[in-house]
Chain A
Amino acid sequence: MKRILLVLLIAVLSLSAITAAGSQETETQVKEIYFWHAFSDAARSQWIQDRADEFNAMQSDYKVVLETKGSYRDTLQAAVLADKQGTPPHLVQLFEVGSQLAYDTGMFKSVGDIGSFDTSDYIQPVLNYYTINGTVNSIPFNSSSPVLYINKDKLVEAGYDADYVPATFGDVIEVLEAARARGVSGAKFSVNLHAWFFEQWMAQQGAMLVNNGNGRDGRATENNLNSQAAINIGNFFAELSRKNLYTYTGKFEDWGGSDAIFQEGQAMLHITSTADLGNITSAVEGKFNLGVGFMPIPDGTERNGTVIGGASVWVAKNHPADELTASRDFALYMTNMENMVSWHKLTGYYPVRNSSIDALKAEGWFDSDANQIVAFNQLLATKVNAATAGAMAGTLLDNRTIIETAIQKIIQGGDVKAALDEAKVLSDAKLKEYNANF
């Protein structure tokens, strides 16, 4: 009995060993391409999964496998650690402000250096950000910029035309004061306390955030956080706060909290990303009429345009050449003309290709939603220069906390110049530390 069992056991084991070896063989024929992205919500991650499934069905040599590692910065950290351990992913979705950090890790390859990469179809301001040292470094994917959101009902109550859009800081204060004088409730401005908007307002004034051509002519060594352009922004917050026209939750970078304040009718004017247009539109439906306009800028300055926000897809270099090509092909497939059209419709992110915009225009998409076209016009009116290309520096993320602290001091009644001078000292110290690594 025992002997029979033993024979059976050996038979089963060897059988399974054979099938295991067989299945391994078939698996090695299909090479896996790992794409790490940062979307955890069902809608956007499912969209990416659908594109991966389509790509996998289109050819049989490569299989795109999706993984998420948390936020953008978690994803970058995980990718760096994976690369050190010899198992980097092929594609990584990284945010714009981490560009210098990602570039400095040395684990990525410029997508422009993988075969021929046709960049002619991309919107110029988008391409502008992701071009480093003359080559397009990563593939533009989800791009957005901030716009002004307006509670039109309050605007009309304040005695303004429903289509009025305050163009400057002065206009913002004027319209809020007029609304208050007429007893309109929630006559406030509710942008969340995030340095992203500070960065945008610097670009709008054509001002550089860091020296050496915004860090694009050479490694940045100094931050321009107390320049006149920065002081203009500080003065705006000082005046808003002094006149009690500004509100936020009190927490830094509280996107949801400030959106809630605007959506509940506790504020008249709000600034947030174009990517939230879909969410906010549906949240205020039936509550009030929503208007969208260009971001207001400091009085007396010429509108220079916004910096593109969002993320792009980077290719990790430590892979065989054919896998690099396949990775690039998938990223390009995911961001092709039709896919960028559906991505835009789903999320509100810009379709980063001119051909996608043409397709959307042709099918009348912009006529159906006037607010969407405003966001577009703001992007297309952006002047292409170093200011709107966005800053490159390893410590831009540190700067965000430093800038937010400075603006909070200003909101709490602190001296504008003193707060920004201190921000410059702190950010320069951080940048010096970072640059000492090279």
Chain B
Amino acid sequence: MISNGQDDNAIFSSRGLLLLFLVPTMLILLVFLYFPAWHSILLSFYRNNLFLGTRKYIGLENYINLFTGPLAPAFIQSFFQTLVLSGLIVAGGISASVFIAIQANKKIAGGRIYRMLLIWPFALSPAVAGTIFLFIFNPEVGIMNTMLDFLFSIKPRWLDSPYLAVMLVVFAAVWKNMGYNIVFYLAALQNVPLDPLEAADIDGAGSWLKFRRVLLPLLSPTTFFLVFTNLSYSFFETFGLIDILTTGGPVGPPGPLDNTGITTTIMYKVFQDGFGGSSNMGFAAAESVILMILVGLVAFFQFSYMGKRVHYQG
């Protein structure tokens, strides 16, 4: 692939020059990505405590403890929860953003103001977003339950009913990141060529058919990009929101989900084990290696499966 591109390109005739231009990027990746990743992998084979500074090689013991013994069920639960939460956040975030972006893209009075307002949640820090939701959803004195109690005489337990808490975290995470998605979709919509849509009109396609068969494929490069950034958002950056809003809780209903908090993702568990409590860094490193593998697998499937269906214009 690369060599093909290179042959077509008259400016970069020498491979050496091309590599030279890659050096700054590679250096940054090396220092800030590959070295820490390598260090984590090494660390996962040691018993290492942050406070004590101890470092003793224990082979695969950390990994064995992840999958067998008393500490395993919590990790396995958080593994599946990470997948489910990420799936919900990505699916919810992308579909809501497409819908809203299409509405905001319509030529209506004050459209610019709507577009601006839609973007602002993205400017909030996760901690601020979490705090806002915490205030709103305090079951006794929050504005949401005060309102629901007044209207329908119900006071849902948002933060300790397991499924409500999951929904709340997903909703907050989607809301927080929606501005980012909408900006990209708006940009893409402004660049959508009108000819295919007109052609569809002439062929008598209804609005759903037009959306499904014409607009969505035209937006697919943006969607492809956003699925990836949203995945990394839901894996890593929801951490701050979860920490403030639920601290990983509440514990799930009796059964396979009652081993740890139902909104505990692997990322949050890495934090709990590595930086919370007694700071067992080796154990946390082993968890983060599993997370690394998970992210790698998801990215691989996305590129190999979804990548084929992306329609690039021109």
Q: Which residue of B lies closest to A428 (CB)?
A: B70
How many A-B pairs have beta carbons closer than 8 Å: the answer is 120
Q: Is the interface of A mostly helix, strand, loop or mixed?
A: helix
Looking at the complex, which of A2-10, A52-60, A116-124, A397-405 is the stretch in contact with chain B? A397-405
CA distance A254 to B165 in the complex (A): 15
Q: Which residue of A lies closest to B71 (CB)?
A: A429
Find chain B residues with CB under 8 A from A266 CB.
140-141
Find chain B residues with CB under 8 A from A374 CB.
none
Q: Which residue of B lies closest to A98 (CB)?
A: B51
Whether the Cβ atoms of B251 and A412 lie closer than 8 Å is yes
* CB neighbors of B among A70-87 (8 A): 73, 76-77, 80, 84
| Binary interface encoding of chain A residues 300-313 relative to chain B, with 1 for a CB under 8 A from any of its CBs, else 0 | 00000000000000
A415 to chain B, nearest CB (A): 9
- Interface residues on chain B, number (Cβ under 8 Å): 43
Whether the Cβ atoms of B138 and A249 lie closer than 8 Å is yes
**Taking A408-B249, A433-B280, A434-B49 as contacts, is the C-beta distance between A426 and B70 under 8 angstroms?**
yes
Find chain B residues with CB under 8 A from A104 CB.
51-52
Q: Is the interface of B mostly helix, strand, loop or mixed?
A: loop
Q: Does A252 contact B (CB under 8 A)?
A: yes
Find chain B residues with CB under 8 A from A260 CB.
138, 140-141
Q: Does A101 contact B (CB under 8 A)?
A: yes
**Taking A77-B275, A84-B53, A437-B52 as contacts, is the C-beta distance between A251 and B249 under 8 angstroms?**
yes
Q: Does B16 contact A (CB under 8 A)?
A: no
B44 to chain A, nearest CB (A): 14
| Binary interface encoding of chain B residues 267-282 relative to chain A, with 1 for a CB under 8 A from any of its CBs, else 0 | 0000010011111100
CA distance A247 to B142 in the complex (A): 14
Q: Which residue of A lies closest to B272 (CB)?
A: A401
Find chain B residues with CB under 8 A from A438 CB.
54
Q: Does B128 contact A (CB under 8 A)?
A: no
Q: Which residue of B lies closest to A77 (CB)?
A: B50
Q: Does B247 contact A (CB under 8 A)?
A: yes
Whether the Cβ atoms of A433 and B283 lie closer than 8 Å is yes
CA distance A340 to B254 in the complex (A): 49
Using C-beta atoms within 8 Å of the partner chain, give the interface range for chain A.
35 or more
Q: Does B261 contact A (CB under 8 A)?
A: yes
CA distance A249 to B277 in the complex (A): 23
CA distance A252 to B244 in the complex (A): 10
**Taking A104-B51, A429-B71, A436-B47 as contacts, is the C-beta distance between A405 and B138 under 8 angstroms?**
no
Q: Does B82 contact A (CB under 8 A)?
A: no
Q: Can you report 25 A-B residue pairs in the complex whose CB atoms are below 8 A from each other?
A: A76-B51, A77-B275, A101-B51, A101-B278, A105-B51, A105-B53, A247-B140, A248-B160, A249-B134, A250-B157, A251-B160, A260-B138, A261-B138, A264-B140, A266-B141, A397-B276, A408-B249, A408-B251, A409-B254, A412-B160, A412-B250, A412-B251, A425-B70, A428-B70, A429-B69
A105-B53, A405-B251, A425-B70 known; 20 new pairs, CB 8 Å cut-off, are A73-B275, A247-B140, A251-B247, A251-B249, A252-B247, A257-B134, A266-B141, A394-B51, A395-B277, A405-B249, A408-B249, A408-B251, A409-B258, A426-B74, A429-B70, A430-B277, A433-B65, A434-B280, A436-B47, A437-B47
